[in-house]
Amino acid sequence: MKRFRTTARSHFTIVALFLSATVAFTQDPPQLSYTVSLANPEQHLVEVRISLPPGSSDRELQLPVWNALYQIRDFSQYINWIRAKDHAGNPLAVRELNKSRWQIHGTSPGAVVEYEIYLDSPGPFGAQLSVHHAFLNLAQLLMYPVDARNAPLVLRFSHVPGDWHVATPLKSANDSYVAENYDRLVDSPVEIGAFHESDFDDSGAHFRVIIDADPADYNSDKILAALHKIVSSAISWMNDRPFDTYTFFYHFPRGPAGGGMEHAYSTAIDVSADELKQSLDVLTGVTAHEFFHLWNVKRIRPQSLEPVDYTRENYTRALWFSEGCTSTVEGFIQLRAGLLDEKGYLFRLGEEITELERRPAHLTQSAEASSLDAWLEGFGYYRRPDRSISYYNKGELLGIILDLVVRNASHGQASLREVLQWMNNNYAKKGRFFDDSNGVRQAAEIVSHSDLDSFFTNYVAGTEEIPWDDFLGTVGLRVEALTTTVPDPGFLASRNFDGPMAVAAVAPGSEAEQAGLQVGDTILELQGKPAGQESRQALSRLNAGDTVTVKVRSRRAGERELRWKISSRQEVSYEVKDLERVTVDQHARRLAWLKGEAQPGVSGGAGQ
């Protein structure tokens, strides 16, 4: 995330540029098929045509309310119109059953359903058609027949501009793509545009790299070199490669960027062009994380996420593992790939501990509860430090602690690596889903031959303080708390989805409160400049005693300009440091730990 080729590939699949409605109509096989027309990129409008094979006389079509990202997004808000007809072109009755489901009457000989949908959500979770390109999370635009979600299907694109190509992990057949069922279809993002494609082979597999960005903003050789290291580290760590071809989709937008989204045979990743110019670190971190997800969450999958319910939330207590421990392994992959060194790793560990310890909610919300509440994460009020923790943050730390616990209990014979490999062999490879935290516990207890009740009860299901030194001491490390005095503006602001910046918390008794700032106020300007990406930095440049000027608006109090003096407060940071005396044993354990490997042949590793 070695040496490789960068070639403009010649075997792009170029789909039919124009598909006449009548011709396509008569040629449709008696199979569920979708045609997506890109005729109107200026208006971000896509026309979808679903051909239903013969079946029952009433069919229901559902558009998902969410996909992949654990947030209800109600994609049907973007539908402009929907209609249906029979094969002779006679209109069929369409009845809306709820905001995301429609019933079509008279479908026994088959039918055609057409609708128009607005797609302008950029980023790896979204769907967008613009004059520049199309990137499609297909669940955002394609309805499924409720009685045929498992049926094989065909997907075509029409009105594709002449110089655009299609890239997707879906299998191609002639001028179309096929999927064995709807779930596979919507786990397969599609990029259509004038992108740059490179490819390389590693560990016996083929990798495609699709980059849609300004060529001035990135160095493709450097990215491919990092990808080689990441995929070979991850594959060797798992001792498994459950795919022949894997596709990386990258976008490097100017301005804010949305992160990454995992899929079984691909990942879509956005990194801001500015970030990328400074270093590859963000790109390699996100890539290692998303790539490892092809095992953890896509194949090693909690039962609570299956079957996917596209009509409502799939509540799961396992995201601390599926997301958090994916971040833990992201660290091991980077270390093994030589993309991160011990110093950098321990610095990051200190930052993660700081993030958790600074959030008062670490004493009230468990890692499992945080997983369950993932669906609230789009809301700024929920993200306040005294309301919630992050299952990414605590889950990553729990993965690190679990690794050390398993090493100790097994006297170095097993580690988190053996836990993941056991889960891969006994759940994923056997087509079974695991029983959330209990499934993780089962695997960890089997590979360590020990009872891990206290770890799971106290730290996963519970909110006990984690005694960092007890665990880190085994590898010769300790955590040091440093108290510093920092400027304090007296409030927290955040953004709901892509909405305006709003005040999420005002410190009681603060100057901000006395000046009249209220929770819920929309921040219009900060220091005379419109609220935006730079506001955070502008705020961080202020020192205690400086005056902050904020223009806000609220429904009750209208628009007003508030001023107050920045005060200061004590803030605790945590750093991970060597013990005063690191023993030979501790040092040996640390070396194995930082490779993410067990330490066969070593015994009696429990004490510090």
Q: Which stretch binds Zn ion (CB under 5 A): 36-44, 72-80, 318-326, 353-361?
A: 318-326
Q: What is the Cα–Cα distance from 142 to 150, expressed in whole angstroms? A: 14
By C-beta, is 371 or 448 nearer to Zn ion? 371
**Sign of torsion, CA 371 375 378 384?**
negative
Q: How many residues does the chain have?
A: 608
- Distance of closest approach, residue 31 Cβ to Zn ion, in angstroms: 34
- Distance of closest approach, residue 326 Cβ to Zn ion, in angstroms: 5
Q: Which stretch binds Zn ion (CB under 5 A): 51-59, 143-151, 211-219, 321-329?
A: 321-329
By C-beta, is 391 or 471 nearer to Zn ion? 391
Q: What is the Cα–Cα distance from 126 to 168, expressed in whole angstroms? A: 15
By C-beta, is 187 or 323 nearer to Zn ion? 323
By C-beta, is 47 or 323 nearer to Zn ion? 323
- Distance of closest approach, residue 286 Cβ to Zn ion, in angstroms: 9
Q: What is the Cα–Cα distance from 451 to 441, expressed in whole angstroms? A: 9
- Distance of closest approach, residue 287 Cβ to Zn ion, in angstroms: 11
Instruction: Give the residues across from 205 on adjacent strands.
Output: 202
By C-beta, is 229 or 293 nearer to Zn ion? 293
Q: Determine which helix (DSSP H) or strand (DSSP E) holds 123, and give its type and residue range.
A: none
Sequence-ordered strand ranges (E) for 20-118: 32-40, 45-52, 58-62, 79-85, 91-92, 94-98, 101-105, 111-118
CB 394 within 8 A of CB 367: yes
By C-beta, is 240 or 323 nearer to Zn ion? 323
List binders of Zn ion among 422-481 (CB under 5 A). Answer: none
501: helix, coil or strand?
strand
Q: Which residues contact 203 (CB under 8 A, 6 or more apart)?
A: 231, 232, 235, 236, 241
- Distance of closest approach, residue 402 Cβ to Zn ion, in angstroms: 17
By C-beta, is 156 or 317 nearer to Zn ion? 317
**Integer CA distances (angstroms), 335 to 196, 409, 563, 593, in order:** 29, 24, 47, 10
- Distance of closest approach, residue 296 Cβ to Zn ion, in angstroms: 9
- Distance of closest approach, residue 71 Cβ to Zn ion, in angstroms: 14
- Distance of closest approach, residue 324 Cβ to Zn ion, in angstroms: 9
Asked if residue 307 has a cis previous peptide bond (ω within 30° of 0), the answer is yes
Half-sphere exposure (Cβ direction) of 445: Cα atoms closer than 13 Å: 13
Q: Which stretch binds Zn ion (CB under 5 A): 169-177, 278-286, 315-323, 418-426?
A: 315-323
Burial class of residue 532, CB neighbours in 10 A (0-12, 13-18, 19+): middle
Q: Which stretch binds Zn ion (CB under 5 A): 237-245, 323-331, 456-464, 565-573?
A: 323-331
323 binds Zn ion (CB under 5 A): yes
By C-beta, is 179 or 419 nearer to Zn ion? 419
- Distance of closest approach, residue 332 Cβ to Zn ion, in angstroms: 15
DSSP label at residue 194: S
Nearest to residue 395, comparing CAs of 364, 451, 355?
355
- Distance of closest approach, residue 403 Cβ to Zn ion, in angstroms: 18
Instruction: Give the residues across from 526 on adjacent strands.
Output: 529, 550
- Distance of closest approach, residue 293 Cβ to Zn ion, in angstroms: 6
By C-beta, is 36 or 227 nearer to Zn ion? 227
Q: What is the Cα–Cα distance from 598 to 433, expressed in whole angstroms? A: 26
270 binds Zn ion (CB under 5 A): no
By C-beta, is 323 or 355 nearer to Zn ion? 323
Size of the site for Zn ion (CB under 5 A): 1
By C-beta, is 169 or 260 nearer to Zn ion? 260
By C-beta, is 329 or 515 nearer to Zn ion? 329
Collect contacts of 199-203 with beta carbons under 8 A, ≥24 apart.
199/5, 199/7, 199/9, 200/4, 200/5, 200/224, 200/227, 200/228, 202/2, 202/228, 202/231, 202/232, 202/235, 203/231, 203/232, 203/235, 203/236, 203/241
CB 280 within 8 A of CB 271: no
Chain centroid offset of residue 277 CA? 22
Q: Which stretch binds Zn ion (CB under 5 A): 199-207, 320-328, 407-415, 424-432?
A: 320-328
Cα(first)–Cα(last) distance of the chain, in Å? Answer: 35
- Distance of closest approach, residue 257 Cβ to Zn ion, in angstroms: 15
Nearest to residue 60, comparing CAs of 89, 21, 20, 102?
102
By C-beta, is 396 or 403 nearer to Zn ion? 396
Rg (CA), the chain: 26
- Distance of closest approach, residue 399 Cβ to Zn ion, in angstroms: 12
Q: Which stretch binds Zn ion (CB under 5 A): 322-330, 403-411, 460-468, 539-547?
A: 322-330
Q: Which stretch binds Zn ion (CB under 5 A): 77-85, 317-325, 520-528, 548-556?
A: 317-325
Q: What is the Cα–Cα distance from 126 to 257, expressed in whole angstroms? A: 12
* Shortest-Cβ-distance residue relative to Zn ion: 323
Task: Sketch the per residue contact string, 271 through 310, with Zn ion: x for CB under 5 A, - otherwise.
Answer: ----------------------------------------
- Distance of closest approach, residue 249 Cβ to Zn ion, in angstroms: 15
**Sign of torsion, CA 591 595 601 606?**
positive
Task: Sketch the per residue contact string, 20 through 59, with Zn ion: x for CB under 5 A, - otherwise.
Answer: ----------------------------------------
Compute, in degrees rounded to 10, the torsion defined by CA atoms 581, 586, 588, 594: -100
* Token pair recorded at residue 427: 């759940």
* Token pair recorded at residue 405: 């616990």
By C-beta, is 323 or 368 nearer to Zn ion? 323
Q: Which stretch binds Zn ion (CB under 5 A): 63-71, 316-324, 409-417, 577-585?
A: 316-324
* Token pair recorded at residue 80: 């402009």
Q: What is the Cα–Cα distance from 137 to 117, expressed in whole angstroms? A: 13
By C-beta, is 323 or 436 nearer to Zn ion? 323
Q: What is the Cα–Cα distance from 329 to 344, expressed in whole angstroms? A: 15
By C-beta, is 261 or 340 nearer to Zn ion? 261
- Distance of closest approach, residue 294 Cβ to Zn ion, in angstroms: 11
- Distance of closest approach, residue 350 Cβ to Zn ion, in angstroms: 22
Q: Which stretch binds Zn ion (CB under 5 A): 34-42, 319-327, 524-532, 557-565?
A: 319-327
Q: Write down the H helix ranges in 359-390.
A: 367-372
* Token pair recorded at residue 31: 């199979």
Residues that bind Zn ion (CB under 5 A): 323
